Structure 1
Amino acid sequence: MAKTNYFVYQEDVSTFGFDWGKLSLTVAPEINGAGRFSGGVVDLPSGEGHARHNHPGAEEIIFVISGEGEQMVEDENGYPITTKVGPGCTIYVPESRFHSTKNTGSGPMQLFVVYSPPGPELALRELPDFRLLPPGS
């Protein structure tokens, strides 16, 4: 039977490492040929988070797998709406809207993120604290 990339574990792919945490892309054009979205697992240590940013031309879905945090998403007028989030919460970030996530819990926070269309995550490679970590890191 031919090997497929339909079933991908976080430890099977390279990871984007940052001072604030990690992103492991598990679905993307370069991983398994996905054409309309990309996504992966984000790990945030306690007290860490990603700064306010946006993805021009892309929507994002953030699903909280574990941990507790604070999520900000700007409304259509640019006003920041911030709320506490935890396991099972789905956050929708409309196209091009600024948003941020911070782990406010005492343990790690894990998220699954989806970008549509794919590609916004590739801009992360340009950040000054970016480092590519080998699979299993």
Structure 2
Amino acid sequence: MRAPEKGHGGGRFVEKNKYFIYPQDVSAFGFDWGKLSLTVAPEVNGSSRFSGGVVELPCGEGHSRHNHPGAEEIIFVISGEGEQMVEDENGNPMTRRVASGCTIYIPESRFHSTKNTGGGPMLLFVVYSPVGPELALRDLPDFRLLPQGL
């Protein structure tokens, strides 16, 4: 039996591989508004049909209106609360309060934005299909690659 690995919480037995990945196991995309730790991606575990990871938004922060041409997105609110905007099929913005447990579906190429309006950090799990939209994030002016563990 293996001993619990430090840094992943006491009592959890962790064998690092491509199937069981914690956000701190990968480098992250850092931005002025927060960070994205890709835990599912071709370069992480060979996924080919979708990618995804954990987004951390500090209090009061969020990502501005944008879209992912040719891709759908799922956002699941792990913790925290905020405002989510998704454009409808006519391009009209729909903004709703979202909190832990909410799943948001972003249709292909649809504009959307998220803002943390709560009193603490907001954690999201995002999924992109097909793989690729996350790569465009590297071209943003405030992008920086954060080392594993931060």
TM more than 0.5 = yes
Q: Which has the larger radius of gyration?
A: 2
Provide the residue aligned with 1:124 in structure 2. Answer: 137
RMSD over aligned Cα atoms: 1.0
Q: Which amino acid aligns with 2:89?
A: E
Q: Does 1:79 align with 2:79?
A: no
Q: Which amino acid aligns with 1:122?
A: L
Matches within 5 A, 1:26-37: 26-37=39-50
- Sort the Cα spacing of 1:3 and 1:88 in 2 relative to 1 into closer, same or farther, 3 A: closer
Deviations 1:31-80 (A, max 9, x none): 10111000000000000000000000000000000000000000000000
Q: TM-score, normalised by structure 1?
A: 0.97
Q: Which amino acid aligns with 1:39?
A: G
Partner Cα separation in structure 2 for residue 124 and residue 106 of structure 1 = 27
Partner Cα separation in structure 2 for residue 108 and residue 121 of structure 1 = 21
**Number of aligned residue pairs:** 136
State the identity as a percent.
81
Provide the residue aligned with 1:7 in structure 2. Answer: 20
Partner Cα separation in structure 1 for residue 75 and residue 100 of structure 2 = 11
Aligned mate of 1:100, from 105, 110, 113: 113
Matches within 5 A, 1:7-86: 7-86=20-99
Q: Which stretches in structure 2 are left out of the alignment for 5+ residues? A: 1-14
* Structure 1 moving runs of 4+ over 4 Å: none
